[in-house]
Structures are given as C-alpha cells and as structure tokens.
Amino acid sequence: MRAYNDIRRKIQDFEATNNSKIDFFREYTQALIRKIGTVEIIDAENKSVKIETFFANPERAIAKIREDRNLVLPVISIAIDDIEDDALRRRTDAQIEMEKGWNKKSQRAVRIVSVAPKAVKLTFVINLWAKYVEDLNQMLENIQLMFNPALDVKTKFSTTIQAFINQVSDNSSMAVSDREDRVVRKSIVVVVDTYVPNRKYLYTSTGEIESINSEIVAITELC
C-alpha cells in the first residue's frame, strides 16, 4: 500500500506541471459515427443507398439540412447528450493500475502506471432524418440490429466497452422552413457504460514517473 501511495503522489506531482489531451469524447463520438455510418437502405429503385452520418445536435442538424443544398435526405446525426457518474462501477483514486508495454527502442518490457479510471454513463442521441417513413423505418431496423443486445464500441482506450439502446422516440414535429419539404425524425437514446481514462505514465526502474512516448507499444494488463 505504501508503494501505491508513493506512485499516486508522484503522478499527482507530475500532473501538476504537465498536461496532455485525452480526447475522450472525440474517441467515442468518432467510434459511433464509424459504426452507424455503415447503415444502408434500399431505395424505390431497389438500389442500396449509404446514409451520410455526421456529428451535430438536432438544431444544428436541421439548419444543415435547410442550408446545405448538397445534403440529400435521409441522413443520420449523432450528438452527445449527457455524462453522469456510475455509482455501481465506481472506483476510488486510491487504486493504482499497472500494465506492461514494450519499448521498441530499447527492446525491453516496461511498466505503465495510472490512477484508476472514472466509471461513467455516456449518453448519445442518434437522430434519423428522412422525407419518407419507409426510409426512416429501414434506418431504424438497421440500427436496432446493431444493438443485439449491445453494440461493441472500439476505441484506443478499450475494445470491450458496450453501448445499449435506452429509448426510441418519434420527433417528426421538427421540420425545415420550406413548407413543401416534409422531414420525419426518430431519435434513439444510446447509453455507453464506459470509463474516463486517466493519463498513463512510464514507471522507470528508479521509481520515477515519465510521459509515455511513441516508442512504447503493445500495452497489456500485467498478470
């Protein structure tokens, strides 16, 4: 326990003078966009049509539909809705995680340390936009099949995180300003049970903490 307390103190001292970006939200958003972006429907001519998928809240998405004349419905937009603490999976910052990696330059195994990640529930809203209910239903069917019962969300942080559909609702009341255009919409609330990762550091043979550089690869859990 004393050794872990010492490591935690050194991490705190190091982070007081060093800061780096983790890109937590971007990683999960891009992972969902990549997966949902594979959705295709069959049009009236029996041809497969890939659906454009992009990041935007509903207000920005409807503005984009109205302003961008090159944007053809149906489309899918994805937005971050909320992030909240997950008490059932909560861990304290007293826990230190140790992993191992490989230093390509020195050709030696190295130790990686970090404070335990924070358990959270990350909520996204997937909005399906179309002119025709048939297209909307096809998109919804495709996405429902991806969550059977959960969707694996693969990021640089983890390949075992899962997302679940929490709610599906009809929000077709929102329409573009042009009265000749009808826009129907369904919203899918997706909850991702994940962890906000803490920064990882190289734990040297002298007991010091250093930043991890590109020479450190193949990080896995220590047995």
Domains and CATH numbers, the chain: 2-221 (3.30.2000)
pLDDT in tens, the chain (223 residues): 557 778 888 877 777 777 667 889 999 999 999 999 999 999 989 999 999 999 999 999 988 888 887 888 999 999 999 999 998 888 776 688 888 888 888 888 888 888 889 999 999 999 999 999 999 999 999 999 999 999 999 998 898 999 999 999 998 865 445 454 678 999 999 999 999 988 888 888 888 888 877 667 655 544 3
Residue 181's pLDDT is 64
Q: Rounded to whole angstroms, what are the CA distances from 122 to 25, 60, 80, 161, 166?
A: 9, 21, 8, 11, 12
- φ, ψ of residue 42 to 5 degrees: the values are -105, 125
Residue 218's pLDDT is 52
Residue 169's pLDDT is 95
Q: Rounded to whole angstroms, what are the CA distances from 193 to 27, 34, 123, 141?
A: 14, 18, 9, 23
Q: How far apart are CA 176 and CA 19, in angstroms?
A: 44
Burial (Cβ within 10 Å: 0-12, 13-18, ≥19) of residue 164: middle
Cα 194 to chain centroid distance, Å, stands at 9
- φ, ψ of residue 211 to 5 degrees: the values are -65, 150
Q: Rounded to whole angstroms, what are the CA distances from 94 to 54, 86, 169, 216?
A: 39, 17, 41, 25
